[in-house]
Amino acid sequence: MIDINLLLTLGATYKKVSAGDVIFYEGNKCNFYYQLVSGKIRWANFNAEGKEYLQLLVEPGECFGELPLFDGAPYAATAIADEDSLVIKLPQATFHLLLQEHPELHFGFSKLLAQRLRFKFFILTELLHNEPEERIKALMAYLKKTKHNICTECGKIKLTRQQIANMTCLRVETVIRAMRHMHERGEITIKKGKVFYSDLPGASNPQC
C-alpha cells in the first residue's frame, strides 16, 4: 500500500517475526500501521474451543490490522506469522499525519477497506450453500477474479487445504474429499499435492 522508503523516512522500523509468532491479538489496542515486506501472515479469529476462522492470508506488499487505525477500536482479529516474515511498522499517530499529507493514500485505503468488506459479504453469502464443493468453487473463482492468493501465471492456489477449510467453515477432511472430486472432473488440477486452477495459462503443465 505505501512505499517502503516513504515509511522509513517517517520513522518506520522493521520487525522480524518467526513462523508461529503472534504480531498482535484480537482485542489488543492498536499502536502501529503494519505492512508485510516478505513472508506470509494470516489474520484470523478463534472461538472458545480454539477453532480458527481465517479472515485473510496477507501477501507481501499488503497491510494488515488496519481497521483500528480508522475507528479507534481494538484489533478485530489476531495476526500470526505462517512462516518467517519481515514486517514494517509505523506509529499510529504518524500514520494519521501521513494520510493528511497524502490524500491519495487515504483514497487508496478507502478502496481497500471496501474490497475487504465486499469479500466478507461474499464469504457470508457462500456459507449459505450447503454443498462443500459449491463453497470451495466460489472461493476459488473469487481468488481468480481478484488475483489474490493465486499465481496468475500457473493458476496455483496459495491457500492450503486447512486454510480453505478455515475460510469456508468446513472440516479439512471435507475439503480434501471435495477437491479430489473436483480434480476427477477436471475443474482443478492437483499435482504433487499442489492445487491449480485448471483454466489458467500454465495449469496444464505447472512449473511452480
Domain ranges in the chain are 4-123, 131-197
What is the number of other CB atoms lying within 10 angstroms of the CB of residue 64?
A: 23
Rounded distance, CA 113 to CA 189, Å? 32
- What pLDDT was estimated at residue 147? 85
What pLDDT does residue 151 have? 87
Domain 4-123 falls under CATH 2.60.120.10 = yes
Measured distance CA(103)–CA(59) in Å, rounded: 24
Pick the CATH number of 131-197 from 1.50.10.10, 1.10.3720.10, 1.10.10.10, 2.30.40.10: 1.10.10.10
Query: What's residue 127's pLDDT?
Result: 76
Distance CA 31, CA 166 (A): 28
Residues of the chain with confidence (pLDDT) below 70: 129-130, 198-208
pLDDT of residue 69: 95
- Record the cell numbers describing residue 55, joined without a space: 479472515
Is the CA virtual torsion 23, 29, 32, 34 positive or negative? positive
User: Which residues 6+ apart lie within 8 Å of 91 measured at CB?
Assistant: 11, 31, 32, 33
